[in-house]
Amino acid sequence: QGFKDNLHAVFCLAENAVGPHATRPDDIHVLYSGKTVEINNTDAEGRLILADGVAYACKDLGADIILDMATLTGAQGIATGKYHAAVLTNNEEWEKACVKAGRNCGDLVHPLVYCPELHFSEFTSAVADMKNSVADRDNTPSSCAGLFIASHIGFDWPGVWVHIDIAAPVHAGERATGYGVALLLSLFGGASEDPLLNLVSPLGCNGDSPAEDMERDSKRRRLV
């Protein structure tokens, strides 16, 4: 699609099958970030490999923008509904950009509360750095699930982290909707040479002067 910047796609995949090496309650895993996780909910397994994925993007790929997207929590459909994905990010500009990109392309997005200083205590563990599921499911569980992933980059990480929970809008009944493809193209379209993607991107460069174009190209971002 005409992207000029260094763009990586990391697929966080695992077979969720019962076997002698399956995760069990009270197991303690050392994740790729080096942090330890006590398993208190074996159904909250997707976030374990997502945490490894973002840690890999940070440590091995040296990314300065990391976006993770997954069907993470059933609570997302309650928080933002069937048609809007939920976005959680450490950057207000990118939160607004996600909302605008969604409106431009039709893959709608709505923000979640980002407040790790109040919510990350839901994962407190006596024997590990954190548990893998919240203590109180009535305390914004979709936000907390995203914070679990962010903690494996580090809340003091200086880059842009964006988490998009797409659990509800990816399906309509038993059919997949294809949600997310248009959103990513729209959101990152400003880094493309495609004029249509430039037009719909909220972070695009329409109207930039040639000097600004040169400056932007000299500060290419690595995108994940």
In a domain, 119, yes or no: yes
Structural domain of residue 140, as residue ranges?
A: 27-200
User: Hey, what are 78's tokens?
Assistant: 């309650």
Would you give per-residue pLDDT tens digits along the chain (224 residues)? 888 888 999 999 988 888 888 999 999 999 999 999 999 999 999 999 999 999 999 999 999 999 999 999 999 999 999 999 999 999 999 999 999 999 999 999 999 999 999 999 999 999 999 999 999 999 999 999 999 999 999 999 999 999 999 999 999 999 999 999 999 999 999 999 999 999 999 985 443 444 444 455 544 455 54
pTM score > 0.85 for this model? yes
Q: What CATH number does the domain containing 46 carry?
A: 3.40.630.10
In a domain, 22, yes or no: no
Distance in angstroms (rounded) separating the CA atoms of residues 38 and 28: 4
Give the per-residue pLDDT at 147.
Answer: 98
Give the per-residue pLDDT at 215.
Answer: 54
Distance in angstroms (rounded) separating the CA atoms of residues 84 and 99: 10
In a domain, 208, yes or no: no
In a domain, 165, yes or no: yes
In a domain, 84, yes or no: yes
Total count of domains within the chain:
1
At 149, is the secondary structure helix, strand, or coil? Answer: helix
Q: Angle CA(196)–CA(199)–CA(201) in degrees, nearest 5?
A: 110
In a domain, 167, yes or no: yes
User: Hey, what are 4's tokens?
Assistant: 């000029």
In a domain, 117, yes or no: yes
In a domain, 59, yes or no: yes
Q: Please name the residues in contact with 29: beta carbons below 8 A apart, sequence gap of 6 or more.
A: 23, 36, 37, 39, 48
